[in-house]
Amino acid sequence: MDLAENIPSKPDPDNAGGGKIMRKTIAKIFLLTITSFLVFGMLTSASKKKSARANEVIVYTYNSFSGEWGAGPEIARLFEAKTGIKVTYAEVGDSGQILSKAILEKKKPVADVLVGLDNYSAEKAVASGVLDVYKPAAADTLIPAELSSKLNADSKKWYLTPYDYSHFAFIFDTLSGLPAPTCLEDLTKPEYAKKIIIMDSKTSTLGVGYEEWVKAAYKDKADDFFARIKPSLLTVAPGWSVGYGMFTDGEAPLCFSYTTSPAYHVEYGEGDRFQALIFTDGHVMQVEGAGIVKGAPNPDGAKKFMDFLISDEAQNLIPLTQWMFPANKNVELPASYAAAAPVPKTIE
Q: Label residue 10 exposed, middle or buried (CB < 10 Å: 0-12, 13-18, 19+).
A: exposed
The total number of residues shown for the chain amounts to 348
Architecture of domain 166-277: 3-Layer(aba) Sandwich (3.40)
The low-confidence residues of the chain, meaning pLDDT below 70, are 1-52, 155
Question: What secondary structure does DSSP assign to 112-135, as a single string?
Answer: SEEEEEETTTHHHHHHHT-EEP--
Q: Where are the beta strands (DSSP E) in the chain?
A: 56-61, 86-91, 113-118, 131-132, 161-173, 196-199, 233-237, 254-258, 274-277, 285-293, 325-326
Which among 148, 106, 104, 87 is positioned nearest to 287, based on CA atoms?
Answer: 148
Domain borders along the chain are 54-165+286-340, 166-277
Backbone φ and ψ of 120, nearest 5°:
-95, -10
Specify the DSSP class assigned to residue 283: B
What CATH code would you report for 54-165+286-340? 3.40.190.10
Q: What is the dihedral of CA 266, 217, 236, 62, to 10 degrees?
A: 60
54-165+286-340 and 166-277: same fold?
Answer: yes
Opening angle at CA 49, ends 298 and 55, nearest 5: 45
Q: Are 214 and 184 spatial neighbours (Cβ–Cβ below 8 Å)?
A: yes
Of 172, 194, 176, 334, the C-alpha closest to 257 is: 172
The rounded distance, in Å, linking the Cα atoms of 258 and 169 is 5
What is the structure's pLDDT at 53? 82
Residue type at 93?
G
Q: Which pLDDT value is given to residue 31?
A: 56
- Is 246 within 8 Å of 237 (Cβ atoms)? yes
- In angstroms, rounded to a whole number, what is the distance separating the alpha carbons of residues 8 and 346? 107
Residues 90/92/96/101 CA torsion (nearest 10 deg) = -80
Task: Tell me the C-alpha distance between 262 and 257, whole Å.
Answer: 10
Cα–Cα distance between 183 and 347 in angstroms, integer? 14
- In this prediction the pTM is 0.85
Residue in 218, 216, 220, 256 with CA at minimum distance from that of residue 345: 216
Buried b / exposed e along 160-184 (16+ C-beta atoms within 10 A): bbbbbbbbbbbbbbeeeeeeebeeb
Report angle CA 304, 144, 206 to the nearest 5 degrees: 85
DSSP state of 278: -
- Evaluate whether 324 touches 276 at the Cβ level (below 8 Å): no
As a whole number of angstroms, the distance between CA 341 and CA 257 comes to 12
